[in-house]
């Protein structure tokens, strides 16, 4: 069984072909980083135009690498949301057109479910498992119970972790994207030099908050001589990264307790999303897993950031269960994995 996946939800245009034995036959990703770098962040209109310009070529390249034609596919999957709606529309319309022309079923995939199921693509992981989904737009702890079955245990009440990394990088005067820059500078910094808060640590529940930490960094930067010295920048990055890791570890420990009480057959702690590429966070979470008797698992770095292989795989998982979509599917800027979870309340929360 072969599925073509298309991903256009943010600033990567991607296409992939995946087989049901977990073989990735082709995985093509085009980054728009240079298009957005001059603006210090993602510009939705620029992203949508870039998707429109490149998606057909990337799909053709993925099919060429896979060595098949559209007739050889069993289904076509595209990210249906959540994401920047202009980009999502480009991918959905492309997927629908291919599905209609080739006479194949169409699958609208939740981008977050793509991340959530990546561990099953790479490691054939059984349900249930605990997932930390951390990216530029999301920071959630989820009980992954099955395809299409998720329980949100915690979410951010303000900023996502990746968003905080990008904003702190900008404050310190580093380049875009911020996550890799902060990690690189933190590696040569002293995390103990500046006392930064650990938001939500020790509080009930499993929710996250990063706006207070971000503000503490802002006040710290304003208190230091400008321009910042290399030592100051490295120490701020190290302290910020350690604070994020400590906060996430505390929230994750609480989620593990909930998970083990409600779903005692859970054996794995999984991290996914762009922030999962941060080596310090991975090491911290691996320690949490060891403390709590779980096995830690993180997909390869290339499958943590946005890609189409995860969309093809999530589509394949849904297709095997007979969960296809009609061609009147409407792209969704918001699409929670757990629709029954209460809306989070706090500054900056959009869903």
Domains and CATH numbers, the chain: 2-117+305-320 (3.30.420.40), 127-301 (3.30.420.40)
327 phi-psi bin (left φ>0, alpha ψ -120 to 50, beta other): alpha
Could you tell me how many residues make up the chain?
351
R_g (Cα) of the chain, nearest Å: 20
What is the pLDDT, as a whole number, of residue 343? 81
Q: Which letter, b or e, does each residue of 112-125 get, where b requires 16 or more Cβ atoms within 10 Å of its Cβ?
A: bbbbbbbbbbbeeb
Residues 6+ apart with CB under 8 A from 264: none
Contact at 8 Å (CB) between 255 and 200?
Answer: no
Residues 6+ apart with CB under 8 A from 110: 79, 80, 81, 82, 314, 335, 337
What is the pLDDT, as a whole number, of residue 345? 65
Residues 6+ apart with CB under 8 A from 83: 8, 9, 10, 111, 333
Task: Give the Cα-Cα-Cα angle 19, 20, 23 (nearest 5 degrees).
Answer: 45
Tens digit of each residue's pLDDT, the chain (351 residues): 999 999 999 889 999 999 999 999 999 999 877 787 877 778 888 989 999 999 999 999 999 999 999 999 999 999 999 999 999 999 999 999 999 999 999 999 999 999 999 999 999 999 999 999 998 788 999 999 999 999 999 999 998 998 999 999 999 999 888 899 999 999 999 999 999 999 999 999 999 999 999 999 999 999 999 999 999 999 999 999 999 999 999 999 999 999 999 999 999 999 998 888 899 999 999 999 999 999 999 999 889 889 999 999 999 999 999 999 999 999 999 999 999 998 876 544 444
**What does the alpha-carbon distance between residue 321 and residue 127 come to, in Å, rounded to a whole number?**
15
183 phi-psi bin (left φ>0, alpha ψ -120 to 50, beta other): alpha
Q: Which two tokens stand for residue 111?
A: 């981008």
Backbone angles phi, psi at 183, to 5 degrees: -60, -40
Strands 129-134 and 139-146: antiparallel
**What does the alpha-carbon distance between residue 176 and residue 178 come to, in Å, rounded to a whole number?**
5
Note the pTM of the prediction, 2 decimals. 0.93
């Amino acid at each position: 069984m072969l599925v073509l996946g298309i991903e256009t939800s943010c600033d990567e245009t991607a296409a992939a072909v995946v087989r049901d034995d977990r073989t990735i036959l082709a995985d093509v990703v085009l980054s728009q980083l240079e298009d957005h770098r001059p603006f210090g962040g993602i510009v939705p209109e620029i992203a949508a135009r870039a998707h429109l310009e490149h998606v057909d070529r990337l799909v053709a390249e993925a099919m060429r690498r896979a060595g098949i034609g559209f007739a050889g596919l069993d289904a076509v999957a595209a990210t249906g949301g959540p994401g920047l709606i202009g980009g999502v529309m480009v991918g959905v319309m492309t997927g629908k057109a291919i599905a209609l022309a080739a006479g194949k079923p169409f699958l609208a995939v939740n981008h977050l479910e793509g991340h959530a199921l990546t561990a099953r693509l790479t490691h054939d992981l059984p349900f249930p498992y605990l997932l930390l989904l951390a990216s530029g737009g999301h920071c959630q702890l989820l009980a992954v119970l099955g395809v299409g079955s998720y329980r949100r245990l915690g979410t951010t009440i303000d900023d996502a972790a990746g968003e905080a990394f990008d904003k702190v990088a900008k404050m310190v005067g580093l380049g875009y994207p911020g996550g890799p820059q902060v990690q690189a500078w933190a590696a040569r910094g002293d995390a103990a030099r500046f006392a930064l808060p650990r938001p939500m640590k020790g509080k009930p529940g499993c929710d996250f908050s990063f706006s207070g930490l971000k503000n503490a960094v802002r006040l710290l930067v304003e208190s230091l001589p400008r321009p910042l010295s290399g030592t100051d920048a490295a120490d701020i990055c190290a302290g910020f990264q350690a604070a994020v890791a400590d906060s996430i570890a505390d929230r994750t420990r609480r989620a593990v307790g909930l998970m083990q009480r409600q779903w005692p057959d859970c054996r794995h702690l999984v991290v996914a999303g762009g922030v999962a590429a941060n080596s310090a966070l991975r090491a911290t979470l691996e320690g949490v897993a060891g403390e709590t008797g779980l096995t830690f698992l993180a997909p390869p770095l290339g499958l943590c950031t946005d890609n189409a292989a995860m969309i093809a795989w999530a589509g394949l998982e849904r297709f095997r269960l007979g969960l296809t979509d009609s061609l009147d599917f409407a792209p969704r800027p918001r699409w929670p994995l757990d629709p029954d979870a209460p809306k989070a309340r706090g500054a900056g929360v959009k869903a």
